[in-house]
């Protein structure tokens, strides 16, 4: 062993003389080489673990018989959020949270009246919540939020509300309920006295009877999808949580044609233009402010393949920058 060390020292000294380090102590060189090798291997190890972590996040290859729930769970995990349903027990606390620090205003981006959102929260809570609609100047009684009351003004069959939470903060929200033609009353008596004609194409047959005014079994309305950067996940959650008998979905685009970002997102989820017209004048149906409605619909439930394409595949969230035109509030 001593002979081997002596030979090694001779070879190292010879090498040091070649590179101009003949006066340096060989022990110092050994230590320097050891430190350099340690640093190199440490960086290699760090790089390998980082690559592994990146791959684990991106490697969401389709599973056999993958469901929409599987894809939604994977997307939520990638985005670092949790999907939580608002219940009768939590509606008041969620309402309070949304009204604090401008959270709700930030979510809806001034495209929806906050009153509109609060009405749904009041319905889930079963009682009037601050900022909701009033009847005259008085807060509605609890009966007005009871679906068992056939004359209730603020009750919807199949109503469900979901929020996306990240570190306890609400980042997104969606609302869905059984569809009603009465959700689109129009601006005046000329509309109030009629139900609109609803067609899937300009020359298609009238499907308004499938919707009706009692809460449709086949059609689900998604009146609220909000949260900058979380809209796709919110929409997927809404589509996946409609009741089993529902196979068609409709959305009224808040802001109309100016809301290109929303339109583009819906197109990625295979939504198409829904045609709603006045049965007498044949003109496009109007909202309560007298503006033409822009409605879109999707036929069919959300499959795992559809969800993957919209949530984990190539998306078009950056297409169609928001225009500077005035916003219309629903």
Confidence label for 316 from pLDDT (cuts 50, 70 and 90): very low
Residue 94, pLDDT above cutoff 80: yes
Give me the pLDDT at residue 64, please.
74
**Is residue 14, in this structure, part of any structural domain at all?**
no
CATH at residue 271:
3.40.630.30
The residues facing 83 across adjacent strands are 164
Q: Quick one: which of 174, 188, 148, 220 has its CA closest to 288? A: 188
**Cα 137 vs. chain centroid, distance in angstroms?**
35
User: What is the structure's pLDDT at 281?
Assistant: 93
> 282: left (phi > 0), else alpha (psi -120 to 50), else beta?
left
pLDDT tens digits, residue range 187-204?
998 899 999 999 999 999
Residue 271 lies in a domain: yes
User: Is residue 277 assigned to a domain?
Assistant: yes
Radius of gyration of the chain (CA): 30
Tell which residue, 184, 266, 183, 285, has the closest CA to residue 225.
Answer: 266
Q: Which of 262, 264, 249, 185 is nearest to 219 (CA)?
A: 249
Domain count of the chain? 1
Task: Give residue 44's pLDDT band: very low, low, confident or very high (50, 70, 90).
Answer: very low
Residue with the bigger pLDDT between 20 and 188: it is: 188
Alpha carbons 9 and 3: distance in angstroms, whole number: 10
Euclidean distance between CA atoms 66 and 303, whole angstroms? 8
Q: Is residue 101 part of a domain?
A: yes
Residue 239, C-beta contacts closer than 8 angstroms, at least 6 positions apart: 68, 222, 249, 269, 298, 301, 302
d(CA 42, CA 21): 27
Tokens 């009146």 sit on residue: 223
Q: Is residue 32 part of a domain?
A: no
Residue 126 lies in a domain: yes
Can you tell me the mean pLDDT for 51-76? 70
pLDDT at 3: 58
Name which of 29-38, 113-122, 214-223 the model is least confident about: 29-38
Q: Is 239 within the bounds of a domain?
A: yes
Residues in contact with 62: Cβ distance below 8 Å, sequence separation at least 6, in sequence order: 304, 305, 308
Q: pTM of the entire structure?
A: 0.77
Q: Is residue 194 part of a domain?
A: yes
Question: Could you tell me the residue range of the domain that residue 204 belongs to?
Answer: 66-311
Tell me, letter by letter, the H, E, C secondary structure of the chain.
Answer: CHHHHHHHHHHHHHHHHHCCCCCCCHHHHHHHHHHHHHHHHHHHHHHHHHHHHHHHHHCCCCCCCCCHHHHHHHHHHHHCCEEEEECCCCHHHHHHHHHCCCHHHHHHCCCCCHHHHHHHHHHHHCCCCCCCCCECCECCCHHHHCCCCCCCCCCCCCCEEEEEEECCEEEEEEEEEECCHHHCCCCCHHHHCCCCEEECCCCCCCCHHHHCCCCCCCEEEEEEEECCCCHHHHHHHHHHCCCCCCCEEEEECCCHHHCHHHHHHHHHCCCEEEEEECCCCCCECECCCCCECCEEEEECCCCHHHHHHHHCCCCCCCCCCCCCCCCCCC
More confident residue, 316 or 96: 96
Please report the pLDDT score of residue 111 as a whole number. 84
């Amino acid at each position: 062993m001593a002979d081997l060390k002596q030979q090694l020292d001779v070879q190292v000294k010879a090498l040091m003389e070649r590179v101009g380090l003949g006066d340096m102590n060989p022990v110092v060189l050994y230590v320097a080489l050891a430190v350099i090798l340690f640093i190199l291997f440490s960086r290699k190890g760090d790089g390998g673990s980082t690559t592994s972590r990146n791959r684990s996040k991106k490697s969401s290859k389709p599973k056999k018989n993958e469901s929409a729930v599987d894809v939604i769970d994977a997307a939520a995990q990638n985005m670092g959020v949790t999907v939580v349903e608002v219940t009768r027990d939590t509606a008041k606390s969620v309402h309070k949270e949304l009204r604090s620090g401008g959270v709700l205003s930030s979510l809806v981006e001034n495209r929806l009246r906050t009153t509109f959102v609060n009405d749904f929260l009041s319905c889930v809570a079963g009682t009037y919540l601050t900022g909701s609609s009033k009847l005259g100047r008085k807060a509605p009684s609890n009966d007005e939020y009871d679906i068992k009351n056939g004359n209730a003004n603020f009750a919807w069959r199949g109503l469900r509300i979901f929020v996306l939470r990240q570190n306890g903060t609400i980042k997104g929200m969606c609302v869905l309920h059984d569809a009603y033609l009465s959700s689109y009353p129009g601006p005046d008596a000329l509309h109030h006295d009629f139900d609109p004609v609803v067609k899937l194409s300009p020359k298609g047959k009238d499907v308004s009877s499938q919707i009706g005014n009692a809460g449709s079994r086949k059609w689900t309305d998604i009146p609220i999808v909000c949260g900058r950067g979380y809209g796709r996940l919110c929409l997927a959650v809404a589509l996946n949580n409609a009741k089993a008998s529902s196979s068609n979905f409709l959305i009224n685009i808040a802001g109309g044609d100016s809301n290109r970002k929303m339109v583009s997102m819906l197109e990625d989820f295979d939504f198409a233009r829904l045609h709603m017209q006045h049965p007498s004048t044949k003109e496009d149906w109007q909202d309560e402010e007298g503006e033409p409605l822009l409605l879109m619909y999707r036929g069919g439930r959300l499959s795992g393949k559809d969800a993957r394409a919209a949530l984990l595949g190539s998306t078009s969230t950056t297409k169609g920058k928001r225009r500077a035109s005035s916003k219309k509030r629903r």
